[in-house]
Homo-oligomer: A and B are copies of this chain.
Amino acid sequence: MKKNLLDLLAAKEGYVSGEDISQELGVSRTAVWKQVRSLRELGYDIDAQPRQGYRLRLRPDRLLPAEIARGLNTGWMGREVVYLEETDSTNEVAKKLAREGAREGTIVVAEHQSRGKGRQGRQWESPPYSGVYFTVILRPSFAPRYAPRATLMAAVAVARGIKRSTGLEVRIKWPNDILLNEGKVVGILTEMSSDMDSIHHLVIGIGININHEIQIPSRYRYPATSLQSELKSPVSRLEVLQRCLEELEKCYDEWVKDGFANLLDEWRAMSHTLGRWVKVNFDEAAVEGTAEDVEEDGSLLLRQKDGSIFRVVAGEVLFPKTAK
């Protein structure tokens, strides 16, 4: 109902009379007034004038389902939206929904995460209304061993989405960070429930720093940045989210239909890591070498000084100042 009233108001530049609305929606004028009030509570600026009626002055800067749906060009991705003002972690909510049977393509969006998660148990800062923090539910039919590709795919899709919505060209730091001018602007955390033959569900959590005014404090090893910091002007969070959802659908459909090779090539082309001398930290050890390639399973191949190849499945990539 709210959506219908919104559509009605949005379709007209000027005022729409309460009488007209009441007739078109088939509800009483009191009901119209109640709907206006609840839209206002969601942040819509609706002007009401005696005898003239109602006029939509401003849409709120909120990632509300009705706002996401408006102008979203997808078939199945993001068509079911669970919207939360605040939550601990959108991945946690999505995992619960997935266990309860949520459809593929369902997304969980939050304006604020109190305990946003990064890789290796780290925190992901999620200040209210500054970024886009969302999780996508997928139910792929491929074997669990291919799950790490989902992270690579998501990085490619988000890179494309950012390019389309802002024009900015990002680089991908293996395996799952997206950088703008060496600053971290996107984090991706893929989680899975599976048995040894098949994946029950995958959730891909994506956090994008959009209108963060300040640099995120330096207690993090890598500086963070935001789309606004790079562009020097605010960015529409909705626009970024919508373009990312569209690209996620395209990438996933392509993967299912044509395999992973093209996506991997695209990942390679946007890689910040390949070709560089890197150091990879494990729990207690470290390995250095030239990042030579990424394999189809997502692992990184390092050419060490002695010419041998070292295969990195998981770890943190650093770029030491002292090359070879």
Q: Which A residues contact B (CB, under 8 angstroms)?
A: 119-120, 143-145, 147-148, 151, 175-176, 189-198, 200, 297-298, 313-314
Contacts and interface: CB of A to CB of B under 8 A. Distances in A.
B145 A195 contact: no
Nearest to A147: B196
A295 to B, nearest CB: 12
Residue among A144, A147, A195, A313 having the largest count of chain B Cβ atoms under 10 Å: A195
Contact of A314 (B120, B196, B200): B196
Contacts of A147: 144, 196
Contacts of A176: 196
A96 to B, nearest CB: 9
B196 A190 contact: yes
Contacts of A191: 193-195, 200
Contacts of A297: 145
B143 A197 contact: no
Contact of A192 (B189, B194, B298): B194
A145 B148 CA distance: 10
Nearest to A120: B197
A198 B120 contact: yes
State the copy count for this chain: 2
Given A192-B192, A193-B193, A143 B314 contact: yes
Residue among A119, A197, A297 having the largest count of chain B Cβ atoms under 10 Å: A197
Contact of A298 (B175, B189, B196, B200): B196
8 contacts: A120-B197, A145-B297, A145-B313, A189-B195, A190-B195, A191-B194, A192-B194, A192-B195
Residue among A147, A192, A298 having the largest count of chain B Cβ atoms under 10 Å: A192
Sort A-B residue pairs by CB-CB distance and give the 8 closest, nearest first. A197-B314, A191-B195, A148-B196, A190-B196, A193-B193, A192-B194, A143-B313, A151-B196
Contacts of A189: 195
A197 to B, nearest CB: 4
Contacts of A195: 119, 189-192
B190 A192 contact: no
A297 B313 CA distance: 14
B192 A144 contact: yes
Nearest to A146: B313
A119 B192 CA distance: 18
Nearest to A203: B195
B119 A197 contact: yes
Given A119-B196, A191-B193, 10 more contacts: A145-B145, A147-B196, A148-B196, A151-B196, A176-B196, A190-B195, A192-B196, A194-B194, A197-B314, A198-B314
